[in-house]
Amino acid sequence: MYRLLIVDDEEIITDGLYEVFNQLMPETLDICKAYSGKEALNWMSRTRIDIVLTDIRMPGMSGMELTKEIQTYWPRCRIIFLTGYSEFDYAYKAIQMPNVRYLLKTEGYAKVIETMQEVMQELNHGIQMNKLAEQSREQKDTLEVLAQGDYFRHFLQDSHCFYVNQEALVQEFDVLNIGLDPEAPVVLALGRLSYPAGTSYTERSRILASSRIIWNSFMAEQSRSIGIVDKHGDIVWFLQTSLRSEEKFNNHFMRYLEGTLELIQEACLASLGLTIGFTISGTSCEWGVVTSQYERLRQLQQLKIGDGISMILMDRSDRFDSSSMKEGYLFSHKAEIMEAHLEAGRAAEFFEDLEEISKSMLFVNGKVQRTIEGYYSIALVLLSYINRMGLHGQLDDIGKLMRLDDHASMKEGFLYLKQIADAIFKFKRKDERDRSSHVIQRICQFIDEHLSEDLSLVRLAEIHYFNPSYLSRFFKQERGINLSEYIDKCRIRKAKELLRDADLKVREVALRVGYEAAHSFTRFFKKSTGMTPQEFRDSLSGGDSY
């Protein structure tokens, strides 16, 4: 989904264009509107904007001035100038600017719609794999990448020890040719690809390589980053702003990152046919607390809501829970894989590995200690997860997890582990459904109680701590209709209720359901009901029931 911002100081034009595109492209465009350049800049600072449809001449800030600011915030944004001025110098200046088109208001809605479709096709083409591959920088030497990956995997385990000796840290970054500043704060992003079932190791490696190319194509322009694959098969990126970035962009970096990750998600879906979810730092952190931040992101990653859709979850807390930082590092290789399956909710894969371990360890002559170690490795994985997620009061009979002697036999011990794991997976599924239901109810309640206010997708996402595109997909997945359709239904229902009060003027009703202009409300109401607000009110006095 692309985000369109319509900017014009003439309210009737802005509202008219908003209604046209909202009706024609509800699935592909999230539409915002502004009545001045200053208001448009506010949108730019809040969320990613892909296309701006703007007048050139406006009081306060012209479209030309606005465009320069836009390209500072979102360099890939496309601009369409829509103006009543046909002087050559305006057209000439617009044509000279990158990613800009020029239209006259006299050309009508059809031409505007045609141009918008062309721009969207350009954006679609821009996220295709072949173009991204051509634009991506030449990959670093394979040995260098491997060395950097190995270094950062160790760094994630205990960043504090690496950070104690600042001088050595600077030297290590230099030797390994790590293009990040070890003395400046860093932002972490944790990405998880949704591989198809049965994907082989070599195919996963190919997909990972392709996702790196996509990442570099979008991120290289405004940031420096290094990405590694952690022990769970997820990608961890370490990010800092580009050395060329202005201070104004540095303050905007987190919004830029969140918005650009949406484009990376779209590119992965278009080029690889896969979704990728991201969990990102809410703020930058010192290198010494990278381990804490990484563990925090891993915990947040498990709080996913919805299924099969691309998620972007930002850590908005400045506190880290480091109580379980060390847990898991001493497990066997198989236990580490099972830990990843448990956290990701992959029940089938977890139980398949558990069955394999059970069969290989039970009744092994002379290797009782190995069997005991296998039991406790899995028990620790389960107990660690229960502790981190606070499930002690949610699960029954977990007291025997760390007491192997309480089981009548080794076989019963492994069956017990299977029962506990099954209870955890059942709780996870129920918890996700409950959280989804609760979040949707909270959003719907907010909409019902604030119909007179701004209910744009961006604002709803800000209030409920979602990424806008994720909120849009999540709401439709849960409710079966677009969020904008739901809001329209609420407004119609409320408007009908208010129109029954003969003392309220139609303009007052319009304001209470979020329409500043009465004529816009009238068009909306008639399109939805087949009657104008006044005709509806007259029908009530005539005894008709609607």
What pLDDT score does 286 carry? Answer: 93
3-class DSSP state for residue 286? coil
Instruction: Quote the CA–CA distance of 439 and 173 in Å, as a whole number.
Output: 43
Closest CA to 491 of 463, 450, 530, 462: 450
DSSP calls for 450-497 = TTTS---HHHHHHHTT--HHHHHHHHHHHHSS-HHHHHHHHHHHHHHH
What pLDDT score does 321 carry? Answer: 42
Tell me which amino acid residue 346 is. Answer: R
What pLDDT score does 68 carry? Answer: 84
Q: What is the mean pLDDT of each run of 10 residues along the chain (546 residues)?
A: 90 87 84 91 89 88 85 87 69 67 83 90 73 53 77 88 88 91 94 87 89 90 90 91 82 89 91 90 91 86 62 68 38 71 86 84 62 86 88 82 86 91 89 82 94 91 82 88 93 95 92 90 92 91 56
Q: Which helix (H) or strand (E) holds 63?
A: helix 63-73
What pLDDT score does 248 carry? Answer: 78
What pLDDT score does 319 carry? Answer: 44
Instruction: Quote the CA–CA distance of 29 and 3 in Å, as a whole number.
Output: 6
Instruction: Quote the CA–CA distance of 423 and 356 in Å, as a whole number.
Output: 20
Q: For domain 2-126, give the CATH number.
A: 3.40.50.2300
Q: Which residues of 465-498 are buried (b: 16+ CB within 10 A; e: fewer)?
A: ebbbbbbbbbbbebeeeebbebbbebbbebbbeb
Tell me which amino acid residue 180 is. Answer: L
Instruction: Quote the CA–CA distance of 188 and 278 in Å, as a whole number.
Output: 10
Contact call for residues 274 and 257 (beta carbons, < 8 A): no
Would you state the torsion angle of the CA atoms of residues 159, 161, 163, 167, taken in this order, to the nearest 10 degrees? -140
CA distances from 299 to 168, 190, 257, 304 (A): 31, 11, 21, 10
CATH 1.10.15.40 fits 450-541, yes or no: no
Contact call for residues 71 and 23 (beta carbons, < 8 A): no
Cβ-in-10-Å burial (0-12, 13-18, 19+) of 302 comes to: middle
Q: For domain 134-315, give the CATH number.
A: 3.30.70.270
What pLDDT score does 308 carry? Answer: 59
Domain boundaries along the sequence of the chain: 2-126, 134-315, 333-426, 450-541
DSSP calls for 350-410 = HHHHHHHHHHHHTT-TT-HHHHHHHHHHHHHHHHHHHHHHT-TTTSS--TTTT-GGGSSSH
Instruction: Quote the CA–CA distance of 204 and 212 in Å, as a whole number.
Output: 12
The terminus-to-terminus CA distance of the chain in angstroms comes to 35
Q: Which helix (H) or strand (E) holds 80?
A: strand 78-83
Residues making up the chain, counted from first to last: 546
Angle of helix 11-24 versus helix 518-529 axis, rounded to 10:
20
Q: In the numeric block, which tokens belong to residue 323?
A: 């109580």
